[in-house]
Amino acid sequence: MNQLPKYKGIDVSLIVETATNAAKAILEIYKSSFEVLLKEDKSPLTEADKQSNQIIETLLKKHFPKIPILSEESKQIPFSERKNWQQFWLVDPLDGTKEFINRNGDFTVNIALIENNKPVLGVVYIPVSHLCYIGILGEGAFKIEQGKTPLRIKKSTSNSFEELKLVRVVGSRSHLSTETIDFVNELKEQGKDVVFVSRGSSLKLCLVAEGEADVYPRFGPTMEWDTAAAQAVVEAAGKRVIDSTTNKPLVYNKENLLNNWFLVQ
């Protein structure tokens, strides 16, 4: 792990270790019979979400006491306070809770460092496969399989799926929208062969980052913590996460933490 580059003096291996520890706690609960609660917005919550969040926040505060934390599962900090943050951790302790509940393995731990509204460092850990994706601004993207040394993800030299004859589209396992179906059908009408792959959580962005998929259209709601870490991986791998409204990369620490629709390519 010490083979990973640092980011402005931040030891990235500590972030990977933090995500790994959270993943271990998640897997213990995953193997048991667990209770599913509903949050105020009716989204599911399990003990795994809460334990993962506690582990991540404890370790980040220990290693980086001066950097504030915004997490899906923590008390939301008012915009009047966080709007002045130049740097902070953005955490989704268990992305893909529905996938966790359905026991299909497609859930992740997401930890991102945001600087000036942009993700500059991201760690996405998949507990079931013990696979970790890392993106570091200026240093590149990496993939770590359990017990192995980090493998650099080859940087993409092309961002366009539109020139391809065969287009591999990755989409949501739990949130497939009509607009996404329309997007696929439009590609077919253009004479393209389309292979559609359903996956869960931020793993979809990582598949585009490593070249296992060509495009991920997200025409449905996501929150900033759902995408930040994986966007860092995507961008470090030379690809883009483009806001469908602004036609620019997704930005973070908005007053409303809801993302616009976006396209990963």
Domains of the chain: 12-152 (3.30.540.10), 166-264 (3.40.190.80)
- Over residues 145-153, mean pLDDT: 94
Q: Which of 105, 106, 129, 71 is nearest to 203 (CA)?
A: 106
Please report which confidence band the pLDDT of residue 154 belongs to, taking 50, 70 and 90 as the band edges.
very high
pLDDT given at position 1: 55
Tokens 């740097």 locate to: 87
pLDDT given at position 177: 85
Does the pLDDT value for residue 75 go beyond 90? Answer: no
Sheet holding 118-126, edge to edge: 69-71, 87-95, 108-115, 118-126, 131-136, 140-144, 151-152
pLDDT given at position 134: 98
Asked if 178 and 170 count as a contact pair (C-beta separation under 8 A), the reply is: no
CA gyration radius for the chain?
18
Does the pLDDT value for residue 148 go beyond 60? Answer: yes
- 211: tokens are 């070249």
Please report which confidence band the pLDDT of residue 44 belongs to, taking 50, 70 and 90 as the band edges.
confident
Q: Which of 189, 251, 194, 193 is nearest to 217 (CA)?
A: 194
pLDDT given at position 45: 86
What type of residue sits at position 93? P
- Over residues 153-174, mean pLDDT: 86
pLDDT given at position 176: 76
The model carries a pTM of 0.95
pLDDT given at position 31: 92
How would you classify the pairing of strands 166-172 and 193-199? parallel
pLDDT given at position 162: 84
- Over residues 166-176, mean pLDDT: 85
pLDDT given at position 159: 61
- Over residues 45-52, mean pLDDT: 92
Does the pLDDT value for residue 239 go beyond 90? Answer: yes
pLDDT given at position 256: 96
pLDDT given at position 37: 87
List 112's β-bridge partners, or say none. Answer: 90, 122
pLDDT given at position 2: 62
**CA distances to 94, 124, 241 from 230, in Å:** 13, 6, 9
42-46, 59-63, 244-248: segment of lowest average pLDDT: 42-46
Tokens 């192995």 locate to: 148
